[in-house]
Amino acid sequence: MELKIALLPGDGIGPEVTEQAVKCLHAVEEAFNHHFVFTEAHAGAIAIDHTGDPLPEATLQVCKESKVVLFGAIGDPKYDNDPSAKVRPEQGLLKLRKELGLFTNIRPLKVYPSLVDRSPLRPEKVAGCDFTIYRELTGGIYFGKKTLSDDGTVASDLCEYSEKEIGRIAHMAFKAAKARNKKLTLIDKANVLETSRLWRKVVTRIGESYPEVALDFLFVDNAAMQMILNPKQFDVILTENMFGDIISDEASVIGGSIGLLASASVGDGHAMFEPIHGSFPEGAGKNIANPIASILSASMLLDHVGLAEEAATVRAAVDKAIEKNVVTPDLNPDGNYGTDQVGDFIAHSIVDIHEHISFNDENIEAGKSTII
Ligand SMILES: NC(=O)C1=CN([C@@H]2O[C@H](COP(=O)(O)OP(=O)(O)OC[C@H]3O[C@@H](n4cnc5c(N)ncnc54)[C@H](O)[C@@H]3O)[C@@H](O)[C@H]2O)C=CC1
Ligand SMILES: CC(C)CC(=O)C(=O)O
Ligand SMILES: [Mg+2]
């Protein structure tokens, strides 16, 4: 298959982890005889440095002309430490999500058996934990009107949702739940927020078309607690933009590190794949960032374009690295493996696994840590 991939490494550790994902995609090309055409472009702080714009028009064009986008991370302390900055790296990412119509962000969490002891929670609480978060990505408070009074003492951010915005992601989450363990939990704050009450109404109505899926509701404060008390109760979580952002970082520690969590953003036709973490500026240039979230994002990309066996092979190679403890310091502070070495190991394993294992429908499905 010939496939056009837009590559936006971004800032901080973004380029380092994306490099490993590209290495793994090259290994897939070699093993399966595909041809991937990468076009690299700037986004985030690096794009501001070059053009003054965190999402230059040329970058947006590259993304629109490619079948899929592989994104690293954006963000830089020089903007984080300057609250008065008018142009910020994060605006580029938000605009990109909006422009590409990526209204659904899928963030799967799976606890690897060999990492159970890395979780800050007790092993029996987390062993076997496997759920997926469906986070709305192009609406809500991140996109609402912002105001700041002339004297700078009063600010506001508007949170707005329409039935249409809620309905389209709700259908995707119900379909995912139907294909998984048939449970959907809507996380909201319907005891306080009007937007949350609209979410409940729309999701309840849509739920009638999915009678096999058990729907329940949790207020977000309780959900944050339940995530730690009993994470195995979850199957598919559906939530709005900001709650999903927060809950998914919290969920990531269950599995041992945020450096393991990948995501797929889909919607009107375009699709983008990125780790859930940020640019981890303190880790940049030190060869310590975990590349697995980026590599698993690449595996979600392969699934998305119909290359299921290739995606399963990447996941199997990641499983092998984790089982053999070929992991970065976030998972093994006493180990000897950096970002590069983990990327090399997984890339070599992809070729090796392809030579020795033939995936059928059953074992492809068994590695279902990705799209649903
Ligand atoms: N999608 C994106 O591009 C995102 C960008 N950001 C931006 O990133 C910058 C830093 O934000 P933070 O709040 O510090 O979040 P962050 O996700 O970059 O880092 C938080 C902590 O998570 C750990 N971590 C993150 N990625 C890791 C990896 N691959 N391997 C090992 N450990 C990892 C580190 O301990 C780090 O201190 C900010 O400018 C922020 O706006 C934040 C979140 C998402
Ligand atoms: C930096 C934000 C725009 C995004 C974020 O934190 C995320 O998508 O997880
Ligand atoms: Mg986030």
pLDDT digits (tens, 9 = 90+) for 143-186: 999 999 999 999 999 999 999 999 999 999 999 999 999 999 99
Where do the structural domains in the chain lie, given as residue ranges?
Answer: 1-105+262-372, 120-255
CA distance 276 to 274: 6
Alpha-carbon span 342 to 324, nearest angstrom = 11
Burial class (CB in 10 A: 0-12, 13-18, 19+), 128: exposed
DSSP state of 192: T
- Third-level CATH fold of 1-105+262-372: Isopropylmalate Dehydrogenase (3.40.718)
**Domain covering 120-255 assigned CATH 3.40.50.720 in the classification:** no
Q: Which residues line ligand 2 (CB under 6 A)?
A: 90, 93-94, 245, 276
How many angstroms separate the alpha carbon of residue 293 from the centre of ligand 2?
15
User: Which position among 11, 76, 235, 245 bears the catalytic label?
Assistant: 245
pLDDT > 90: percent of the chain? 95
Given the structure tokens 């058990």, which residue do they identify?
A: 214
| Ligand 1 binding pocket mutation candidate from 97, 258, 297 (most atoms within 8 A of CB) | 258
Contact 72, 9 (CB under 8 A): yes
Q: Is the pLDDT of residue 244 over 60?
A: yes
**120-255 has the same fold as 1-105+262-372:** yes
Q: pLDDT tens digit string along 308-325?
A: 999 999 999 999 999 999
pTM value is 0.96
**Measured in Å, how far apart are the chain's first and last C-alpha atoms?**
23
What residue has token string 């999915």? 210
- 108-116: average pLDDT: 95
Atom of ligand 2 nearest to the CA of 93: 3
| pLDDT of 364 | 63
Average pLDDT over residues 181-199: 98
- Residue 222: pLDDT band with limits 50, 70, 90: very high
Ligand 1 proximity of 80 Cβ (cutoff 6 Å): yes
The label of the residue with tokens 């070729």 reads 351
Q: Is the pLDDT of residue 102 over 60?
A: yes
Predicted confidence at residue 372, as pLDDT, reads 35
pLDDT higher for 364 or 270? 270
Q: What ipTM was assigned to the predicted interfaces of this complex?
A: 0.99
Q: Tell me how far apart the alpha carbons of residues 184 and 235 are, in angstroms, rounded to a whole number.
A: 6
Q: Is 279 in the pocket of ligand 1 (CB under 6 A)?
A: yes
**How much is the pLDDT for 370?**
38
Task: State the catalytic residue, choosing from 49, 82, 157, 221.
Answer: 221
Please, which residues bridge with residue 229 across strands? none
